[in-house]
Copies of this chain bind each other. A is one copy, B any other.
Amino acid sequence: MSSIPKIVILGAGYGGVMTALRLQKQLNYNEADVTLVNKHDYHYITTHLHMPAAGTDSPENARVSISKLIDEFKIDFVKSTVVQIRPQDRKVILEDGTLSYDYLVIGVGGEPETFGIPGLKEYALNIRSINSVRLIREHIEYQFAKYKREPHRTDYLTFIVGGAGFTGIEFVGELADRIPQLCREFDVDPQLVKLINIEAAPTALPGFDPELVEYAMDVLRKKGVTFRIGTPIKECKPDGVIVGEGEEIKAQTVIWTGGIRGNRLIEEAGFETMRGRVKVDEYLRAPGHDNVYVVGDNSLVFNEEGRPYPPTAQIAMQQGVAVAHNLVASIRNQALKKFEYKHKGTVASLGKGEAIGIAFGKKYKGWTAAQLKKLIDLRYLFIIGGIPLVLRKGKFF
């Protein structure tokens, strides 16, 4: 190890950004060299992406320039794509360079989990980045324009959302709000538009409070959403999906929100994985690699009952804080702290002015829940960017 330890953080998502921000605050001058690597020169607020995807908000409001978040006098920023992680050499291969490290933080984000369903990878769109949500928004608008040229093709106006988990439900809520606007804009009869949410599990929002799930489905049904619950997608084709026992639903748009798995970079690096994720130790390190921390979608943390926590912004942020603490402790030869996830609650938006949620042990729904959602979003902006970011972006949330 060189006199000044080198810390490399891969990915500026929730976990990576929190690690960087905390290191920036806690490290003394010349105590470590920190480099943040990210594909884009911006951080995006994943929990807000369902809005620009549906077109109810601008993508600009879901991203923040990294130069506005980190202090580039304290942390180096490299805009590049990670090609390979080589833990044995303590090196990271980038698309345009190589970085060596003493400590590595992996927060490169997950990939869509398609459960081997044929065609999903090829033909379905995913809500996972600024680029992908711009594509979804443009794709949807384009279908309305194309329908006007070929008015017999109602499959242009059928929108299938695969997965009624958190992302699926939030997106469906926004799209249901957006459709009447699009119908006015393109002179389309709203009766012709179909918005179908398909979920293989026996319920929407599996694991959520059943009373709130029922409330959410009622709200969305009133907005025109059709639910097909307990209905697995068997195949995705260029012109629709096959569900259940061979039933075909014609649609030019399929958006898949059915799950996230670990990034292929993790498996390729030789780390031991479960569905592409690393079952990290109590300090959030990859087993057998004392200098490699894994946060966010690629990290697997278990609760007391032995079940993994779902990958959320909330856990990734807490992991970032914990990793920064442990990195500083390592450098100072102090004791590491065990990671303990504190679940503060969950709120799912259902479109404008509607949401459901559980927080502080209480259930919330409707307008109150929607306000709570806004507060959570504003709190996040405050944490990463302080008052200036809240003022700049907060009004859009």
Contact = CB atoms under 8 A, between A and B. Distances in A.
Interface stretch (A12-20, A144-152, A168-176, A258-266): A144-152
In terms of DSSP, what is the predominant structure of the interface of chain A?
helix
A363 interface: no
Nearest to A148: B131
A132 interface: yes
Interface in A281-332: none
Contact of A145 (B40, B134, B148): B134
Contacts of A186: 134
Contacts of A132: 149
Give this chain's copy count: 2
* Interface magnitude class on chain A: 10 to 19
Interface in A112-153: 130-132, 134-135, 137-139, 141-142, 144-146, 148-149
A134 B183 CA distance: 13
Contacts of A146: 135, 138
A235 B189 CA distance: 37
A135 B148 CA distance: 8
Nearest to A134: B145
Contacts of A130: 187
A95 B22 CA distance: 69
Contacts of A139: 142, 145
Contacts of A134: 144-145, 148, 186
Interface in A154-189: 186-187
A137 B141 CA distance: 10
Contacts of A40: 187
B135 A145 contact: yes
Nearest to A132: B149
A141 B146 CA distance: 14
A138 B145 CA distance: 7
A142 B130 CA distance: 14
A382 to B, nearest CB: 26
A186 B138 CA distance: 11
A141 B136 CA distance: 11
A165 B140 CA distance: 33
Nearest to A63: B187
Contacts of A142: 138-139, 141-142
Contacts of A138: 138, 141-142, 144-146
Instruction: Name the 3 nearest CB pairs between A and B, nearest first.
Output: A138-B145, A131-B148, A135-B145
6 contacts: A40-B187, A132-B149, A134-B145, A134-B148, A138-B144, A141-B142
Given A139-B142, A141-B141, 10 more contacts: A40-B187, A130-B187, A131-B149, A132-B149, A134-B144, A134-B145, A134-B186, A135-B146, A137-B145, A138-B138
